[in-house]
Structure 1
Amino acid sequence: MADAASTHPEEQYLALMRDVWARGSRRMDRTGVGTRSVFGATLRFDLADGHMPLLTTKRVYWKTATRELLWFLSGSTNIRPLVLQGVKIWNEWPHARYVRETGDALSLEAFVARIAADEEFAERWGDLGPVYGRQWTAWPTYRYRPDGTYEPGEPVNQVAEVVESLRRDPAGRRHIIEGWNVAQLAQMALPPCHKTYQYHVVDGRLNGMLYQRSCDVALGLPFNLWTAATLQRMLAQQTGLAPGELVWTGGDVHLYESHADLVERQLERRPVGRPRLVLRRRPASIFAYDISDFEVLDYTPLPPLTASVAV
C-alpha cells in the first residue's frame, strides 16, 4: 500500500484497487458474475481538520450515502423512505424477490414507481428484513427461563449505547456497533457487509475501525468509507471529542470482472484536492440529524464512472 503520510490519502484506495485487479484470485461468486478477490486489507485515514475519505478520482454521491446512513439510524428496513428521496441503492434486492415470488416480470422502474405511489404495496414488497437499521437500533434480545426456554426481552439500541459509553467510559473497549446477527441472517435481503464498527478514544480524539466481511472495491467501498467516516464524525460531535483516525479493514475484498472498464479508467486517474465535511449544527441526539446538516467543501472530483450492481 502507498504511504498515506507522504502521498494523497486516496492513493491507498487506488493501490488496493490495483492490487486486487492484478493479483486477486478469480472466483465464481454468489451473483454468478465472477470476481477477483484478495483476503485481508487495511486502509487508514486521518479525519482531523474535517478531512474525509471522499474519492476524487470519480464523483461519489455523498448525499446519497448520507441519506442511507440517516435511514440506518432511523431504524427503518423498508426502501420506501429512500425511494421517496430518490435513493436507488437498495432497489434491486426487493425487486428481485418480488419477481421471484410472484412471477410478475414487472420492470425495476415500474416496481420502484409503485413502491413510491402505493404504501400498502411498499409495506408488503419494500421491506428488506432485519438489516442494518434494525440491528443498529433494535437488536432483539431474549431472557433465559429456568425451564430452558426463552422469552423476548427489550431490544438494544446499540448506537445509543455507544454514545452513552463514549461519554461515560471513553477508555472502554466495548464501544461496538454490530450488524452480524447470526439468528436473523436468513431473514435479511443481504447479510451485512460493513458489519462491525468499534471506537477508541485517545487524547480526546475519537478513532474508529470498520471491519467489512465482503467489499466491492469499485462500487461499494467509496460509499462504505464515506459512511464510516461520517458516522464517526457524528459520534465525535455528540460526545465532545475531536475526530481521529478511521481504520478500514476488509475480509473478502474483490472487484467484479464486469467492472473492468471502470477499474482500468479509474486507475489512470490521480486524486485532485482534499474534500472536507462540515457539520452545520449539533442536534440534541445522534438520531436527529438531517441531510441539510452536512456540507462538503473543496470537492471538485473527476467525472463519474458507472457500472452495474451485481445482485
Structure 2
Amino acid sequence: MSTVIDSGRHHEWQYLDLMRRIWNEGDERTDRTGVGTRSVFGAQLRFDLSDGRMPLLTTKRVFWKTATREFLWFLTGDTNIRKLCQQGVQIWTDWPLDKYRKATGEAISREAFSARIVEDADFAAEWGDLGPVYGKQWVDWPVYEPAGEGLFRQRAQGVNQVADVVQSLRTNPGSRRHIVEGWNVAELDQMALPPCHKTYQFHVSGNRLNGLLYQRSCDVALGLPFNLWGAALFMRLLAQQCDLEPGELVWMGGDTHLYLNHADLVEAQLAREPDGDPRLAITRRPDSIFGYRIEDFEVSGYVPQGQLSAPVAV
C-alpha cells in the first residue's frame, strides 16, 4: 500500500484508511500472542514535518509526553524499566511483569509490581531488565575484539549509532549510510521483545532532512501512534542538532496488523473524523542529541477526541 501526501487532506486520513483496509480486508491469522490478528503486508504512510507539523493522531488521545519520555529513555541506552516507572511510564512493564508472575506464581498487580520496581533497586535489577532492547543497540551496539587464540572479548563501549548518524549528517550529508539499526541478530533471544521499529534511515535534500522508518511488525491501534510520534521526534532532534529543516517522514510496515480483541477501539475510531493541526516546538537546543529533557517540548494545536483503550498483547 503506497500513500502519497494530499496537501488538501488531513494527514490522519492515511492512518484511518490503513486501519479500515486492515479491518475489512486483512488476512485473519494466528500470531505469537495467541490473540489473533487481521494483517496486511507492506504498508506505507508519508507525513510532512515542515513548520513544526507532527503526525499526532486526533481521533483519539495520544499521550505524546509518555512517548517522548520513552524515546529519551532509548537515547540513554538503559534497558531497565525502573527509570520509566519512576516517571509513571508503564509502556514496558507488562513484559517483566509477565515473566515475574510465571516465575513466582504471585498474582501481583501491575501497579504493585511497578511500585516495587521503583522502591526496591535490587528487585528492579533482578526483575526489571528487558535485555539489550532498542536503546542498547542504538547507542552501544556490541563490538568484539580478538583476545588471544580463538578468544574474543567485548569492548567496554560499543558503537553509538545515534552519535555516528549526527556526525555523518553534519560532515557527509550526501551519504546513503545514515542508518540506525536495532535488529542485532546475535542478541534477539536475550530481548524481552525483538525490535518492531527496527530500521531508521535519513536523507538530506538541500537543507531538508527526510527520514524513513521500517517497522517489521506493527500493532496499528496501540503501537503505531507512538511509533509515528517517536520517528518524527527523532527527525526533529536530528534536524535541530544538524542545522537542517525537517522534511518528510516515510513510514513503512511489514506485518501491519490489528488484534481481533481491539474491535471496539477500531470501530469507535473509524467513526471519528480528524481535526486540528498539532505542532511541536523544541524550546531549547542542548549541546548534544543526548541532552534533551521532557521540558524542552511544547505541543500546540492539539485537541484530541476522547481516549480509546484496548489490551496489550504480550
Pair 1:112–1:290, CA change in 2 (3 A): same
For 1:232, the aligned partner's letter is M
Q: Distance in 2 between matches of 1:128 and 1:204?
A: 38
RMSD after superposition: 1.2
Indicate if the aligned counterparts of 2:3 and 2:46 stay in contact, CA closer than 8 A: no
Unaligned runs of 5+ in 1: none
Q: Distance in 1 between matches of 2:282 and 2:297?
A: 5
2:240 pairs with one of 237, 242, 245: 237
Indicate if the aligned counterparts of 1:276 and 1:297 stay in contact, CA closer than 8 A: yes
Name the residue aligned to 2:289: 286
Q: Distance in 2 between matches of 1:239 and 1:104?
A: 49
Q: Distance in 1 between matches of 2:206 and 2:184?
A: 33
Name the residue aligned to 1:304: 307
Q: Distance in 2 between matches of 1:98 and 1:83?
A: 16
Name the residue aligned to 1:274: 277
Name the residue aligned to 2:230: 227
Q: Distance in 2 between matches of 1:209 and 1:95?
A: 33
Where 1:49 maps in the other structure, the secondary structure is helix
Identity of aligned residues (%): 65
Q: Distance in 1 between matches of 2:260 and 2:9?
A: 29
For 1:59, the aligned partner's letter is R
2:144 pairs with one of 131, 142, 145: 142
Name the residue aligned to 2:5: 4
Q: Distance in 2 between matches of 1:30 and 1:276?
A: 37
2:116 pairs with one of 107, 114, 117: 114
Indicate if the aligned counterparts of 1:2 and 1:11 stay in contact, CA closer than 8 A: no
Q: CA deviation at 1:100?
A: 1.4
Q: Distance in 2 between matches of 1:176 and 1:114?
A: 37
Q: CA deviation at 1:102?
A: 2.1
Where 2:290 maps in the other structure, the secondary structure is coil
Name the residue aligned to 1:86: 88
Q: CA deviation at 1:148?
A: 4.7
Name the residue aligned to 2:251: 248
Q: CA deviation at 1:103?
A: 2.3
The superposition leaves residues 68-99 of structure 1 with CA deviations (integer Å, 9 ceiling, x where unpaired) of 00000011101110101011111100001111
Give yes or no for the alignment of 1:187 onto 2:196: no
Q: Distance in 2 between matches of 1:221 and 1:172?
A: 28
Give yes or no for the alignment of 1:131 onto 2:136: no
The superposition leaves residues 135-193 of structure 1 with CA deviations (integer Å, 9 ceiling, x where unpaired) of 01100011257845433234001100000010010000111000000010000000000
2:263 pairs with one of 260, 270, 279: 260
Give yes or no for the alignment of 1:162 onto 2:179: no
Q: Distance in 2 between matches of 1:133 and 1:2?
A: 30
Q: Distance in 2 between matches of 1:144 and 1:214?
A: 36
Name the residue aligned to 2:176: 173
TM-score, length basis structure 1: 0.97
Indicate if the aligned counterparts of 2:77 and 2:135 stay in contact, CA closer than 8 A: yes
TM-score, length basis structure 2: 0.97
Q: Distance in 1 between matches of 2:40 and 2:147?
A: 45
Name the residue aligned to 2:26: 24
The superposition leaves residues 247-274 of structure 1 with CA deviations (integer Å, 9 ceiling, x where unpaired) of 0000000000000010001011111111
